[in-house]
Amino acid sequence: MTFYEFGLKEPINKALTELGLEKPTQIQEKVIPLVLEKFDVMAKAQTGSGKTASFVLPILENFMNNSYEGKAKIRTLVLAPTRELALQVSNSFQSLSKYFHKKPKITTIIGGEDISQQLLDVQKGSDIVVATAGRLLDIISKKQINLSNLEYFVLDEADKLLDLGFQEELDLILEQIPKKRQNLLFSATYPQKVLEIASKITKEAKEVFLEQSQTVELINQRAIKVNSENRSALLRYLLKEYKWDKVLVFMATNRAADNLAAKFRKYGFNAESFHGHLDQEERNYTLEDFKNKEIDILFSSDIAARGLHIEDISCVVNYDLPRSPADYVHRIGRTARAGKSGEAISFITLENYEHFKLIEKRANINLEKEVIKGFELEGTPLTKKKGEAPVKGKRKSKKDKLREARAKKDNL
């Protein structure tokens, strides 16, 4: 099947051809006709499957089919979990409407950038708003945005939005938008809490749930045993041994990402860090430089794990393992995109040995634990005794968890 078979307008097909997109992915093939037929949709597909275009294309087709007169009014609202994903979605709308005679006015509302300029853009008139929830609510609270004409309400990476304490924010946003609208939900996973959120938004959605995509099958997954203190030296060895073009290294903390990037620059590598504590301009420049291969190694927090499309990443390294087994799949999905192969390496230490077993079980994988000569794992893996009672005072309170979620959201 080709994109032409959807019956999209010629300016859209021209933009697709220019971008080198001829055949829809599986999720696009199933979702685009449903959106064009005005159905609500709940779609589940893994990272790298092309979810963004599956809602951008039919929304732009609808825009071309309607001759909206006068000042632009917000017809589409897309909520994304991170600033980078919001910017990426906006760029998709812009690039795919490049040849429109009358182009849609697209506004990106995100934290870390001048709110006064965003307010001005909204007041001048917008057809499409792509936003992170926190900044959108700031503007709603100022009573500076009118969402009463909304036709499309899109949640992108819905499960990640939920991680950021989205439920209360959703209620406030739903109060501002018309009850009659088309709802489109896209997520890599649909745990019970996401299904509960979905039930607030739509009752009669068409479900498109795809199983594990080819993306993961194209990734050569490796697990290498190494002591924690030897990870940096092992990474340097692997970089010199394999000479990968573009490497994304996931770290547990922002500080660790900064420190390791600085250390690798001293070793002569072209390395930078990328995380939520950088200001937005720095984040934009760093991401662009990495995409353009001006940076060879990017040490990142999990803000680079979801949704972002960066072509030709040769290797993803889990320097620190992700907390959630589901995030393992999202992280490694940064490589092997657009049908290409890729490499994903996880460092297995004494401290995370048991946790990696859980990741393997949940991700339905069983990797051989490699040993690299000169970096052999020494010592006994730490194990948690079955039925061991939690240590008093160590479990986070509800208040602490909410505080952490807000802080995390501010950094996104």
150, 260: one domain? no
pLDDT in tens, 232-273: 999 999 999 999 989 999 999 999 999 999 999 999 999 999
375 found inside a domain: no
pLDDT above 90 coverage of the chain, percent? 64
pLDDT on residue 389 = 46
pLDDT in tens, 210-225: 865 444 678 899 999 9
What's the whole-number average pLDDT of the chain? Answer: 88
> Does residue 409 have a pLDDT over 70?
no
> Does residue 337 have a pLDDT over 80?
no
Element (H, E) at 158: helix 158-163
Encoded tokens for 191:
């745990």
C-beta atoms surrounding 209 within 10 Å: 11
251, 183: one domain? no
pLDDT band of 8, cuts 50, 70, 90: very high
> Does residue 168 have a pLDDT over 50?
yes
| Contact yes or no for 211/262 (Cβ under 8 A) | no
108, 184: one domain? yes
pLDDT on residue 333 = 83
Final residue of a structural domain among 163, 182, 209: 209
Rounded distance, CA 223 to CA 10, Å? Answer: 47
Rounded distance, CA 324 to CA 322, Å? Answer: 6
Rounded distance, CA 324 to CA 47, Å? Answer: 15
Question: CA 205, 46, 131, 290: dihedral to nearest 10 degrees?
Answer: -160
| Contact yes or no for 14/99 (Cβ under 8 A) | yes
237, 196: one domain? no
pLDDT in tens, 268-310: 999 999 998 888 889 889 989 998 999 999 999 988 777 677 8
Q: Which amino acid is at 157?
A: E
Query: For the domain that residue 82 is a member of, what is the CATH number?
Result: 3.40.50.300
C-beta atoms surrounding 375 within 10 Å: 19
99 found inside a domain: yes
> Does residue 398 have a pLDDT over 50?
no
Q: Which residue has the higher pLDDT, 350 or 46?
A: 350
Alpha carbon distance, N-terminus to C-terminus of the chain: 37
411 found inside a domain: no
> Does residue 399 have a pLDDT over 60?
no
339, 232: one domain? yes
388 found inside a domain: no
Q: Which of 52-61, 161-170, 342-351, 357-366 has the least mean pLDDT?
A: 161-170
Rounded distance, CA 328 to CA 321, Å? Answer: 8
Final residue of a structural domain among 209, 240, 275: 209
User: What is the residue range of 237's domain?
Assistant: 214-370
pLDDT band of 50, cuts 50, 70, 90: confident
> Does residue 384 have a pLDDT over 70?
no
150 found inside a domain: yes
54, 193: one domain? yes
402 found inside a domain: no
- For residue 273, the SS3 value is strand
Query: Per the structure, how many domains does the chain have?
Result: 2
390 found inside a domain: no
pLDDT on residue 129 = 98
36, 78: one domain? yes
The CA–CA distances, whole Å, from 80 to 126, 342, 380 equal 18, 26, 42
Q: Please count the CA atoms within 13 angstroms of the CA of 83 that sit on its side-chain side.
A: 24
> Does residue 403 have a pLDDT over 60?
no
Final residue of a structural domain among 148, 182, 209: 209
Which residues, 6 or more positions from 286, have their beta carbon under 8 angstroms from its beta carbon? 272, 273, 274, 278, 295, 298
pTM (2 decimals)? 0.76
pLDDT on residue 386 = 55
218, 158: one domain? no
279, 350: one domain? yes
pLDDT on residue 139 = 95
DSSP 320: S
Rounded distance, CA 153 to CA 170, Å? Answer: 12
Phi-psi category of residue 289: left, alpha or beta, with phi > 0 → left and psi -120 to 50 → alpha: alpha
**b/e burial code for range 259-294 (CB count within 10 A of at least 16 → b):** ebbeebeeeebebbbbbbebeeeebbebbeebbeee
Strand 219-225: give its sheet, edge to edge: 271-274, 297-300, 247-250, 315-318, 342-348, 219-225, 369-370
pLDDT band of 385, cuts 50, 70, 90: low
C-beta atoms surrounding 207 within 10 Å: 13
Which residues, 6 or more positions from 69, have their beta carbon under 8 angstroms from its beta carbon? none
117, 248: one domain? no
pLDDT on residue 153 = 97
237 found inside a domain: yes
In this structure, are strands 206-209 and 182-187 parallel, antiparallel, or unpaired? unpaired
pLDDT in tens, 126-159: 999 999 999 999 999 999 999 999 999 999 988 8
229, 334: one domain? yes
48, 110: one domain? yes
Q: Which amino acid is at 380?
A: T
pLDDT (mean) for 353-370: 92
